[in-house]
Chain A
Amino acid sequence: MYTFSSKLKSVAIGLIIIGAIGVAYGFFTSHKDFAAVEMMLASESHGDAHGETATHHDTKVSDSHATEDTHSEAAQAGAKIHGEHGPQAEVDEHTKHVNHVMHAMHNRPWSALYVAAFFFFMISLGVLAFYAVQYASQAGWSPLLLRVMEGITAYMLPGAVIVLSIALASGIIGHYNLFIWMDPDVVAHDKLIQGKSGWLDIFWFGVRGFVFIAGWWLYRHFARKFSIAQDEADDNKNFIKTFRISAAFLVFFLYTESIMSWDWIMSVDPHWFSTLFAWYVLAGMMVCGITVISMVTIYLKSKGYLPKVNDSHIHDLAKFMFGFSIFWTYLWFSQFMLIWYSNIPEEVTYFVTRFQDYQLPFLGMVVMNFVFPLLVLMNSDFKRVNWFVIMAGIIILGGHYIDIFNMIMPATVGDQWSIGIPEISSILLFAGLFIFIVFTALTKQPLEPKRNPFIKESEHFHY
């Protein structure tokens, strides 16, 4: 049995407290009013920022109308309060700009919280899918790691509920800070969103989210239950049951994961769509999940809790990290290149905003998620070196956080992004919560499944 070391527990609680304080600070400081934003912009425009904003406006004019950040619609809606389109066009333009920036600043703490919440939730959902694959494929190497995976999936339910709550709260108690299609005022002036309103509806958004979470949780609940029952059983009935529900879950998962990524991520840009987006999200999810499995395994092994786990298990996990990193890159590049190549205005705006305002994170992410794992994890000897896998894992997780950041932020805060107190505190908050829930779940059951039919093979696994 694993005991949650008091040191790790206090680290987790400390992270939650520091994170929560930072998140609260982010919310309290983001509520700048119109005058304050106007002052800030005025003082900025005296510096070199002036040239930048000028080019920014040029591109907006020269590109099609859709280039405009989706939130400019929100700004327009707000601008209506200050003055109708009329003779004083210049004043109107200025009001619109200030309003736009003000909304982006208000959105920042919401988006920071949402990105971090989704990132940690996605890790545990990725692990749940990987866990189901292990059962469905009757893998012989992994049974020693199944309890570690079960521990990590314990975060799936709270994590998913938090993500859905933030999404719904942004539309109900917030000012439509994440999903502008939730704002009836925006929809009223937007033909494109009107056409999609049969799907993008806050009630059905909630219902769909609830169905996904319930389905994933049911699988997790029963798989865990049968896995524990198998320890004490004298036949393999429980294993066979898990095998069956795992196969069924994988079918359910692929559908719900796709819809979840349209709902929870793609719809922050309600004018944009991409057909392989769901797989792209899935690939990132799997990389992060497997990376966290290997990191937790290495941690527990270093503390002496998993004596039977050998280098070959770590090697296999590192191979999966390597393989799925490349798979992620393949999908990222396919999505990017197809849109870049055909250059259709309604699609390409997605990447135009990311290239203009997010150049470093957008390209840096490819280095962290592709070039680095490619070169570091290619050598088969390095994949057996535990600290090497941990180091590679930290870079991969950082890269995939930025990946989610790049999906959400350009649509909500636009060029007002930064990685500062709201973002880092949100990461700390959910990291602490993740560690606390996962390691608490690990203490509940023995770390080695006793009567798994493949446990002997796993113990002698050697590559």
Chain B
Amino acid sequence: MEASKVIHAIYTDDDVLMNAVKKVKTARHHIEEIYTPFPVHGLDKAMGLAPTRIAITSFLYGCVGLTVAIVMMNFIMISDWPQNIGGKPSFSYIENMPAFVPIMFELTVFFAAHLMVVTFYLRSRMWPFKKAENPDPRTTDDHFLMEIAVHGNENELTDLLKETGAVEINLIDKTH
């Protein structure tokens, strides 16, 4: 893997950061990453990030959960051992369905919620004992850090970032 250079511009205010992002975008530089201590409303839009599709996955997981509930209870209560329990009609699934609805609902929610969270962890590469990818510990407290790739335009970039109100600009060798 080749070693490349990145610039870390550090800001102390989210409004300044937002303006800086807009300026850097209009100057057509590629922002690699931004580290913030808290969610900054509208940052993803300013950076031009694609909207998340996690809600769609959640809907599909919910459909899976509903199917699991229906197939499971149809097998257990109707096909495998259709007992008479307190006079409930176990002749067909639909006849006894109201009794199954609470379970159908809960399993739908269970699958939708848990599988979506697992998807989120996988997509954002988070797990226990993972090495934190934090370039500067201050970004978890009160600083904002913008990382921009350098392609021989170091001085031009530094000037631009200074103009945007960065309090600190560092050139960093990054090994991939």
| Residues on A facing B (Cβ under 8 Å) | 333, 336-337, 340-341, 343, 378, 380
- Which A residues are CB-close (under 8 A) to B98? 333, 336-337, 340-341
Partner of B101, one of A333, A343, A378, A380: A333
B55: A residues at CB distance < 8 A? 380
Task: Select from chain A the residue with minimum beta-carbon distance to B102.
Answer: A337
Distance, CA A83 to CA B78, complexed state (A): 51
A343 touching B87, Cβ below 8 Å:
yes
A419 to B39, CA, bound (A): 55
User: How far is it, in angstroms, between the C-alpha of A122 and the C-alpha of B83 when the chains are bound?
Assistant: 45
Is B59 at the interface (CB under 8 A from chain A)?
Answer: yes
Write the nearest CB–CB distance from A104 to chain B, whole angstroms.
29
Interface check B118, CB cutoff 8 A: no
B99 on the A face (CB < 8 A): yes
Report A21 CB to chain B, min CB distance, Å. Answer: 43
User: Can you name 12 A-B residue pairings with CB atoms under 8 Å?
Assistant: A333-B98, A333-B101, A336-B98, A337-B98, A337-B99, A337-B101, A340-B98, A341-B98, A341-B99, A343-B87, A378-B59, A380-B55
Chain B, range 78-111, C-beta contacts under 8 Å to A: 87, 98-99, 101
On chain A, the residues within 8 Å of B59 by CB distance are 378
Sorted from nearest, which 9 A-B pairs have the closest CB atoms?
A337-B98, A340-B98, A341-B99, A333-B101, A337-B101, A341-B98, A336-B98, A378-B59, A343-B87
Interface residue SS majority, chain B: helix
Q: How far is the CA of A333 from the CA of B99 in the complex (A)?
A: 11
- Name A337's closest neighbour in chain B (CB-CB): B98
Task: With both chains docked as a complex, state the minimum distance between the C-beta of B11 and any C-beta of chain A, in angstroms.
Answer: 24
Q: How far is the CA of A120 from the CA of B99 in the complex (A)?
A: 34
Nearest B residue to A380 via CB reads B55
Which residue of B is nearest A343, CB measured? B87
User: Closest CB-CB distance, B99 to chain A, in whole Å?
Assistant: 6
Q: What's the nearest-Cβ distance from chain B to residue A213, in Å?
A: 37
Contacts of A343 in B (CB 8 A): 87
Minimal Cβ-Cβ distance residue in A for B88: A341
Q: Which residue of A lies closest to B98 (CB)?
A: A337
Q: In the complex, what residues of B have CB within 8 A of residue A337's CB?
A: 98-99, 101
- Chain B residues lying within 8 Å of A333, measured Cβ to Cβ, are 98, 101
Nearest Cβ distance between residue B60 and chain A, in whole angstroms? 12
Give Cα A257 to B21, complex, Å.
Answer: 53
| Binary contact track B48-66/A, C-beta < 8 Å → 1, others 0 | 0000000100010000000
Q: How far is the CA of A380 from the CA of B56 in the complex (A)?
A: 11
Q: Which residue of A lies closest to B42 (CB)?
A: A462
Q: Which residues of chain A come closer than 8 Å to B99, judged between CB atoms?
A: 337, 341
Complex: how many Å from CA A24 to CA B59?
50
Query: Which of A336, A337, A380 gathers most chain B CB within 10 Å?
Result: A337
CA–CA, A340 and B59, complex, Å: 30
| Shortest Cβ distance from residue A336 to the other chain B in the assembled complex, whole angstroms | 7
Bound form: Cα–Cα A378–B99 in Å: 26
CA–CA, A337 to B98, complex, Å?
6
Give the residues in chain B near A336, CB-CB below 8 Å.
98
Contacts of B101 in A (CB 8 A): 333, 337
Give me 6 other A-B pairs in contact (C-beta within 8 A), A337-B101, A341-B99 excluded: A333-B98, A336-B98, A340-B98, A343-B87, A378-B59, A380-B55
